[in-house]
Amino acid sequence: MISQLKKFGREMRVGIPFVWLGLLIGLSFIQNTVHAKVGGEDFIIDLMDGAGKMVFNSLNKMEIYMSIIFALTFIFAIPRAKVFWSFLIVVILLIVQSIRFLPNVDGYWLESFKMIIKGKSSFEFWYYLFEFIKSIFLVMIGFFAMKEIR
């Protein structure tokens, strides 16, 4: 029974990072805007039409849930140091994003059209930089966890 729980914990550690990564990338692309140039005129199309705030908050909640589920796998089997430290970095990035970015979401979405016309905002830059770093670490966690199964 205990060996089956350890195996379950290790297998979950492989799947969770890749599911998390898929949701992260998919939802990040959904909340983007489309820039088009037709006949010398610039057009900005907001794919979410004001629902970006909802997507941003949903993504953050989903990431918190995924991190909790992943942390629960530590109960079944103690992870290797690489998996643990990589996961800790992802959690730290998630906490910083939640504290730093979530309070600014309202202002960001209200001003988004002005920022798009002026250029990319620092808010958007840091948000996508954190998402990129988290994506790299999630892939690393998945591959490190695969080595645990062998």
Report pLDDT digits (tens) over 74-108: 888 788 888 899 999 999 999 988 887 766 655 55
CA distances to 7, 22, 25, 76, 116 from 17, rounded to whole Å, are: 17, 9, 12, 17, 32
Residue 47 is inside which H or E element, if any? none
**Higher-confidence residue: 108 or 143?**
143
Structural domain boundaries enclosing 123 = 2-149
pLDDT given for residue 115 in this prediction: 46
Q: Average pLDDT over the chain, rounded to whole?
A: 76
Domain count, the chain: 1
pLDDT in tens, 33-64: 555 556 666 555 554 455 566 777 778 888 89
